Amino acid sequence: MNVSIPPNQMKIALCFIISYDHILNKEELWREWIEPNKDIINVYFYYKDLQKIKSQWIMEHTVPPNYIHETSYYHVIPAYLSLMNFAAKHDYDNTWFCMLTDSCCPIISPKRFRYLFYNNYNKSIMSWKRAWWNVDYHTRANLAKLPEELRLANDPWFVVKRENVGHILNFVNKQNDVTKLICNGGLANESLFAIILYGYKQLDAAVISAVTHLADWSRMASATSPHLFKDANDTDIKFIETELDKNKYAMFIRKISPEFPDAILRHYIYKHSKEADMALVIRNPVFIYKLWKYGVGLLIFLCFLYTFGKVITK
């Protein structure tokens, strides 16, 4: 797959993985939020059972059936890879790939989202660090079977640039045995991507280690799942406000229950940072690049004409 084709207009691929009820918990809010940036956004859904999808909008954005593979809560890597593979081929302008779940929701304004994209299109944004668990006790991602430097962890939901999608797909294709080893340990989506990008020397060069999807792990819903935002209680509100102030690359929040009040989410999307968002200056880097490229070309051409004219007149 050629991932280096220069874009005509850089776009963002919103890559959703849905299961169980096959809904998007906040579909109406998502569609409303996408609308101002629809010129730069493509939407893709990975599903388990097409027959369970009731939303016509979701149905219109599903990946083809031949991209669907068996997955489970602990073994979800095939869904990531299929979404990345299809989205990269579907539109060569897709420059950012945002990995999302049915319980994710935007938490910043459409304008700030475009601003972050235009200012970081050439970076992946994924929080990563050394594995914090006992790799000899917990078999997740089979890290104990890997060299010390590869015992890494990454946030399972992140934003990855096109070139790094190419690295991920290339690694999985060429290092199939290593990929299987990591996946067989379970919860591989919390380590595999950091491991791959480390191998390609991208973690320091091309990855901003920062949170993109807010999640409250201090009030876990289960042993492997963060808090489910449902009531919009004082603790929920304090978490959202504190984390938004702390994480400048935050774009989404999870896990949001269908019952969580839309009015609260709309407040943080459209009102919480309204004054700061209004001050943002949006510059399309593709336009600037093309302007620079053609401007330099014109300057060289004019210099050639000037020099050539001087030679002729001598």
**pLDDT in tens for each of the 314 residues of the chain?**
444 444 568 999 999 999 999 999 999 999 999 999 999 999 999 999 999 999 999 999 999 999 999 898 879 999 999 999 999 999 999 999 999 999 999 999 999 999 999 999 999 999 999 999 999 999 999 999 999 999 999 999 999 999 999 999 999 999 999 999 999 999 999 999 999 999 999 999 999 999 999 999 999 888 788 999 999 999 999 999 999 999 999 999 999 999 999 999 999 999 999 999 999 999 988 766 455 445 544 554 555 455 545 444 44
Q: Does 20 fall in a domain? A: yes
* 265 within some domain: yes
302 found inside a domain: no
pTM of the complete model: 0.90
Count of domains forming the chain: 1
In a domain, 17, yes or no: yes
3-state helix, strand, coil in the chain (%, to 5): 45, 15, 40
CATH of the domain at 86: 3.90.550
Q: What is the pLDDT of residue 309?
A: 52
DSSP 216: -
What are the backbone angles phi and psi of residue 245, rounded to the nearest 5°?
Answer: -70, -30
Residue 301 lies in a domain: no
Which residues form the domain of 244? 11-288
The answer as to whether 271 is a domain residue is yes
306 contacts: CB under 8 Å, gap ≥ 6: none
How many Cα atoms are found within 13 Å in the side-chain-facing hemisphere of 288? 6
Q: Judge whether 273 lies within some domain.
A: yes
Query: Which residues are registered as beta bridge partners of 153?
Result: 129
Quick check: is 308 in a domain? no
| DSSP designation for 21 | T
Say what the pLDDT of residue 9 is: 83
Residue 255 sits at φ, ψ, to 5 deg, of -100, 130
DSSP for 102-146, please give it: TT-EE-S-HHHHHHHHHHHTTSEE--EEE--S-TTT--GGGGGGS
Q: Is the dihedral of CA 53, 46, 109, 189 positive or negative?
A: positive
- Angle formed by the axes of helices 162-174 and 192-199, nearest 10°: 90
